[in-house]
């Protein structure tokens, strides 16, 4: 039986700060979530369960206003499992393809179980009640793991409100402002058509944590990012998680129904504002920012040596697979590559109006 990590809302960490000019943040004490996941991940690395040993990655901040965090990870490009060929955003799950029911059981770190004893949480009958957390054997960064809702249910790579909620709750369970969670849809460089989210630690601050936003449907926590790359943002603190998760799922369901590929990135962030936040607000990380980028679809098997624009790259974290690109790529180069994957501005504006109406009708 895998280890069970039982948690409740009382375990959420709200006193997280990010020190200005410092990659490290502060919290009251290390959270049990972090110590459990990091110990389990390190144990599997020591036992040789990964495809390669991940040491300290070469990291540099690209010159320019966006502060892109570049990292060199050659082995991920060489050693990782060949991604599946994806032909549709609504592609059905296939038991013949690789999926997380075929992994070595030792790769499982724990199962997340939410203790709702005495609470008011209600689950729909079609939603799983457990989240399996396993190591990503081709890691991007320290602690890189996968969150898989009840693998035996064989969900395709389409978000559910349960998956989004547990993703948000995982960020809230961490006392480390560098813990991130993300999702790639089919057509947005997802490698496996079996529902999963990524989680990993990246110490460096990303602009998405404090970027200015425009309110769209603020009562649903819905905003538009005001800087590059253009996308949407949800924000929640501990008391609104379930409601915001449902709103995010309404948006991602709309994108799937409209055959629009998308990437999500969940991170500690300061409260949303349409102006540069005060120093106090800028350092606050009590809430979670969830960026949603609708984008142009890419189908077929992805080229592993290429710079693929997915959840990390859109958020400002750039994993490079060869030394030349790592050393020579500029901020302008990155922006030109990312721009090719974004929706044209007219299409984005139309989608924004559709989503505003869609969320207001809930």
Q: Which are the catalytic amino acids? A: 196
Distance of CA 272 to the CA centre of its chain: 18
Backbone angles phi, psi at 27, to 5 degrees: -150, 170
108-114 and 4-7 strand pairing: parallel
Compute the distance between CA of residue 156 and CA of residue 179 in angstroms, rounded to an integer.
25
Write phi, then psi, for 129 (nearest 5 degrees). -105, 5
Residue 18, judged by CB atoms within 10 A of its CB (0-12, 13-18, 19+), counts as buried
| Strands annotated E in the chain | 4-7, 17-18, 25-26, 58-61, 69-72, 108-114, 130-135, 145-149, 179-184, 197-201, 213-217, 222-225, 232-236, 261-269, 287-295, 317-320
Hey, which residues does 118 pair with through a beta bridge?
A: none
Q: Nearest-CA neighbor of 199 among 142, 129, 127, 130?
A: 142
Nearest to 116 by CA among 7, 252, 220, 271: 7
107 — phi, psi (to 5°)?
A: -75, -15
Strand 179-184 and strand 4-7: the pairing is unpaired
- Spatial distance between the Cα atoms of 352 and 362, rounded to a whole number of angstroms: 16
């Amino acid at each position: 039986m895998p280890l069970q990590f039982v948690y409740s809302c009382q375990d959420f960490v709200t006193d997280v700060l990010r020190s200005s000019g410092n990659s490290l943040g502060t919290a009251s004490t290390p959270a049990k979530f972090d110590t459990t996941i990091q110990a389990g991940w390190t144990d599997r690395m020591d036992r040789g369960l990964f495809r390669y040993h991940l040491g300290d990655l070469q990291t540099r901040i690209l010159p320019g206003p966006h502060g892109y965090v570049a990292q060199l990870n050659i082995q991920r490009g060489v050693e990782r499992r060949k991604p599946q060929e994806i032909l549709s955003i609504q592609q059905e799950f296939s038991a013949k393809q690789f999926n997380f029911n075929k992994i070595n059981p030792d790769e499982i770190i724990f199962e997340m179980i939410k203790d709702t004893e005495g609470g008011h949480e209600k689950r729909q009958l079609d939603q799983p009640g457990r989240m399996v957390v396993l190591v990503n054997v081709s890691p991007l960064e320290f602690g890189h793991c996968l969150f898989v809702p009840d693998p035996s249910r064989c969900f395709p790579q389409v978000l559910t409100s349960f998956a989004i909620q547990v993703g948000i709750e995982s960020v809230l369970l961490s006392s480390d402002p560098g813990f991130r969670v993300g999702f790639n849809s089919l057509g947005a460089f997802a490698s496996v058509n079996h529902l999963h989210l990524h989680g990993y630690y990246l110490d460096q601050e990303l602009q998405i944590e404090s970027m200015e936003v425009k309110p769209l449907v603020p009562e649903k926590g819905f905003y538009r990012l005001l800087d590059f790359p253009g996308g949407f943002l949800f924000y929640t603190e501990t008391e609104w998680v379930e409601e915001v998760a449902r709103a995010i799922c309404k948006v991602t369901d709309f994108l799937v129904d409209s055959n629009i590929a998308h990437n999500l990135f969940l991170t500690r962030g300061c409260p949303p504002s349409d102006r540069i936040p005060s120093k106090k607000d800028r350092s606050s990380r009590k809430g979670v920012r969830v960026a949603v980028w609708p984008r142009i679809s890419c189908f077929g098997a992805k080229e592993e040596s290429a710079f693929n624009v997915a959840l990390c790259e859109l958020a400002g974290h750039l994993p490079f697979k060869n030394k030349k690109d790592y050393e020579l790529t500029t901020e302008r180069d990155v922006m030109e590559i990312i721009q090719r994957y974004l929706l044209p501005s007219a299409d984005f504006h139309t989608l924004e109006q559709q989503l505003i109406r869609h969320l207001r009708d809930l």
